[in-house]
Structure 1
């Protein structure tokens, strides 16, 4: 059986394609998102770290694990590498290309942490910030940006209230150019903080930030663990899995 660590468009697409080909698979979701889009065979919830995942791989006789989680889901990616190495199970990762080769990437401020991103915005003197780092990290920017107008966009609300000067926008991509242009203009955004997630669904904000002459602060991806076969997309993963 193939275990797909999902929660992304790539994970859903891969499982659906495996289903169509009659290849046994199970998509695993962390359970952090309400009303997730599901495929035929799904389990929801954590494994209990690398040790729990190792037990699952052994008990279910998993032959291959495909890590199709978000590029910034470093915890499960690390646990998958440890468990697969211990179990002798092949590990693949669908690693969608990031935005390092974006036409405007050399204009952005690239940082390695949320603290560095907040400090960069303060140093730039930005006063109206679009923050798109996900609900789990939104409040990492408080209190550093409490005195600024921050439009925090996330698919679900953070675990605690936002500072008084901030606003929350609940939205899930894909986002259009027209919609991002309206948002930047309406909120007079002069700085964007985001992750190097890659893909097309959320890329419109990068073009609009350039049009609006807004600064872009980009969080670099965590480095993948050793021993992982990196694949650029679902097609590459499907081709390898179809070979057996």
Structure 2
């Protein structure tokens, strides 16, 4: 269960999220932008919230998701966001840890570095000196530079290349040739190249530590013998470092026990409804707590039990995240139409469940159902031991090649590979005497089985998802 919430959007937040993934620790990660979300890896252990929240919204989110630990890994200069997180945690009674970025103040300096306490003080210093300025303090601080004397001709703004950011720069009056839209990290060499190209005399930055490319800026400025104006961190905070935070996350990871291993059953429901299922599959289904499947299949199952939770998902990308959030459910069924072993999604689902962590959490069993080929041949009173089985349902298959070497072929059809298209193909290639048995809505009340030749069937209308037995 995700009882941990990481406020990220920073390198530390990303590293903590990756640590959770690697160590199978479930966590929510909150970022303020879609860009922040794209920087995070996709993981069955991570759930992403990618819109900004104020203090009250944070409190509601924490309460609704029953968060027990909040890690504030926001930027060292995001003072307002950190205050909101603190207020939300205090109001909800939730434990909060501030993740501190190592300060580099005092480790670098010299004659080329000027330390100031605020943007206002930085602007005052720049007004007292002449020369071009490279602003690397972020788009939110850019408006401060517009109070400088002659800022239009002095300031070059290095910002993220997002449309919203570039638009905001232009609205503040920054001209296109004064906006450098680039995504870091920036190496010392790249910083040097920018300093030289734009004849920079002052580089303005925040003291963001190793994660913010701070040292690379200092080194590049020193190499080019220009001045770095460093804005110190706004507040002194108490908290823990990145490594200590990782140890805390590991300590909160629940120990694995073999006794809590669950079971997932991949069940073929046959050709429709409870009557077409095997007795074992039906008994297993009736004892499950959660049942996944396409809406049509769930409807066909009828009322299993008032305690059974039915969810209309049948793809692993939807089911696996749900499992990560609901580990208290131990008997789970995923339903597939027909036979789970005959061109079924059960194969991909089984493969996904063999991966970590699911192979450790669940035993997986496949229970077959009555396939469409078995059902149709039974209705035709014929065997199917010598029938070649193929699928033209969303697949490419050389049917003519199969006809040359097989007397009887059973095929699943779709909208493109329809009965009409199949009949035309057979007629055009000398198989006009072939016998076709087309099955529609097999096992349902409106079931229809139609027999004929390509010529007699090609102009008739059939269900898109028909099946056909071709006898050469």
The correspondence of residues 1-244 of structure 1 with structure 2, limited to 5 A, is: 1-31=3-33, 33=35, 36-39=38-41, 40=43, 41-47=47-53, 49-104=54-109, 108-123=113-128, 125-145=129-149, 146=151, 148-156=153-161, 157-158=165-166, 159-161=168-170, 162-164=173-175, 167-202=178-213, 203-223=215-235, 230-233=239-242, 235-244=243-252
Deviation at 1:147?
5.0
Deviations 1:100-119 (A, max 9, x none): 03321675322222222111
TM-score by length of 2: 0.47
Q: 1:69-95: CA deviations, max 9, x gaps? A: 111111110011111122221111221
SS of aligned partner of 2:76: coil
More off after superposition, 145-154 vs 23-32: 145-154
TM superposition shift of 1:135: 1.1
Q: CA deviation at 1:155?
A: 1.4
Report deviation, 1:139: 2.3
Q: Matches of 2:89 and 2:23 in 1, distance apart? A: 25
Larger Rg, first or second structure (1 or 2): 2
The structure showing larger relative contact order (alpha-carbon pairs under 8 Å, at least 6 residues apart) is 1
**TM-score, normalised with respect to structure 1:** 0.88
Segments ≥4 residues shifted beyond 3 Å: 32-36, 162-166
How well do the aligned residues superpose, as a CA RMSD in angstroms? 2.2
Aligned length: 238
The structure-2 alpha-carbon separation of the partners of 1:195 and 1:209, relative to structure 1 and needing over 3 Å to count, comes to: same
1-side partners of 2:48 and 2:152: how far apart?
Answer: 43
C-alpha contact (below 8 Å) 1:77/1:224 kept by paired residues: no
1:32/1:75 CA distance change after superposition, 3 Å? farther
- For 1:42 and 1:151, the matched residues in 2 are separated by 34
Separation of aligned partners in 2, 1:144 and 1:100: 26
- Aligned 8 A contact 2:31 2:37 in 1: no
Give the C-alpha shift of residue 149 in structure 1: 2.1
